[in-house]
Chains A and B, each alone.
Chain A
Amino acid sequence: MKKLKILFNGILKENPTFVLVLGMCPTLGVTTSAFNGFGMGIATMFVLMLSNMLISLLKNFIPDKVRIPAFIVVIATFVSIVDLLIQGFVPALSESLGLFIPLIVVNCIVLGRAEAFASKNGVFDSMLDGIGMGLGFTLSLTLIGAIRQLLGSGCDILVFVLAPGAFFVLGFLMALIRHIQQPK
């Protein structure tokens, strides 16, 4: 039961995009279509899961003072691996996401979970947390991408596939989710 709670924490209660407001750059930058959003989300989820696991394993060996640089090195390693894998196996995705794949390194969600969760919890829990947070991120990005694609390419309201549309869709979605979650 507790394990399920960790897993679902990232999807609803602490959704990284809509509740924690982390990782805004890829959220706005790559969500021109549902597929791009989904791809970005999955790539981030892999990095989150693997870096959470390794950091949780290493937490007793990393001196407290240099933990942030150490976390960044771990994260950067996994990002490079994911980057090369995507370039090799899904070149189309690599082309459309471009710069945003290496930039997973500086996605605040990844470092944030390493610091807030993985450095204090066990390997399995950290893995679940990584998967949950990653799924929450993937869902949000896919949703935003789908809405922008529908309005922009589907209904020909060009502004939604351009930069301002990203801000509008995210702003209104966030307000909607807050409105629903508000205690009545």
Chain B
Amino acid sequence: MKIKFVLFTALRYFKARRKSKGFASSLLSIIGVAWGVLVLIVVIGVMNGFQLSYINNILEISSYHLQISPAQGAKTLSSEKLGALENLPGVSAVVPYTEFQVLVNRTSLYSQTTGGIVRAIDVEMARKDEGFLRSIFSEETGDLAALQAQLDLSAPDSIIIGNLYEYTIGAKAGTELILTSVQDIKIQRTSGNDGAASSFNVLRAFKSGYSEIDMNYIFMSLKSAERFFQDREITLAYGIKLTDRFDDLGAKLRVENLLSDPGYTVKTWRDFNKGFFGALLMEKIAMMVLVGLIFIVVGFNIFNSLRRIVYEKFEEIGLLKSIGASPGQVRSVFIFEGFLIGFIGALTGLIAGLVVASHINEVFAFATGFVNAMIGFTEGTAGIFFQGFTIPRVISPFSPEVFYLKEVPSQVLFGEAFLIFFFALFSSTTAAFIASRKISEIKPAEVLRYE
């Protein structure tokens, strides 16, 4: 393939068409590709923002990167073993904990009751888990020592609760709560013995930003849990944080080798969250496919535009063939044009998409302001003709009061941006490839007849 001829001719045709009427169609194709790429990048960026925030909170607060689950009756790990676990390569924190479900209500007579998950933790070891501290105290901007100070559960029967308990039962810092173990309700009903039900003082409320956690989680120290269960033996599990969460499989092997005890099962965050993360991935793929349908429409536009150009240039194609251009060379000229349309459109869309995705909150603020201004204008204008005409003046689609959001998160991943860019380029080039098929059939002797 003589590429110089292809580039020279395609660029010249493209340049010439900028001044012709036919360029409107090419321009439309470029805008279509750019719009498709922009929308996809912004939509996927915002989805990533939400999803990664969920994933981060789940991993940092709930599931850990690795979990060591003891079998029934398994012994608590010795402090030596815990020390060895902490010193394993890639391990940043090891937190002994136990988890149980409770009913939660205030001490007042007519308090509503809600459910909760108590995570009783070894506070000293949990303080070494920076990811955990930064996630539950997401609104704190202080250094690590300041965050560690927030996790102070040394007072007897003190707890830290998710901030959404305030919305469900009105609990906040200073409130006294009664926790009743769900497991012990069963014991009470079958044996008549007293189960665990104690009152706890809420030290503070935490906010992770993930409503499922902020609405359900309660943290207390292991000592408080022991008192709660009236010194009955508690089976501990161990949450492990890694410096690189994607090293989970290697770290799992290292932990298993260290424990060398079949009484403990080691699971990674992938095992724990397979269903949820799978659903998130499916959601993202479905969104990509749906928004990506725009490229099919754009592809049809490019196909029609280039097919018309091919028909218009029958004679020129015949001439190029008669002076030695191969069908492949001539076809490449038109395929390159499709590629060029795709490239310009995809690059414009990529840049615009990255700008919009990184300033999504400003974009929403502008859109909100614009819509409100339009509403105000409509109301003002309609008011001239219809006395007393009113419509809601202020619309705030991303109000923190409506959604559990401070701002719209957005994160564009390089691989996904590249995939979207490549897909746009592929669809436009493929459309040009199909549109240029006719070129192979053009016979110079028939086209260049001048009778």
Q: Do A and B interact with each other, yes or no?
A: no
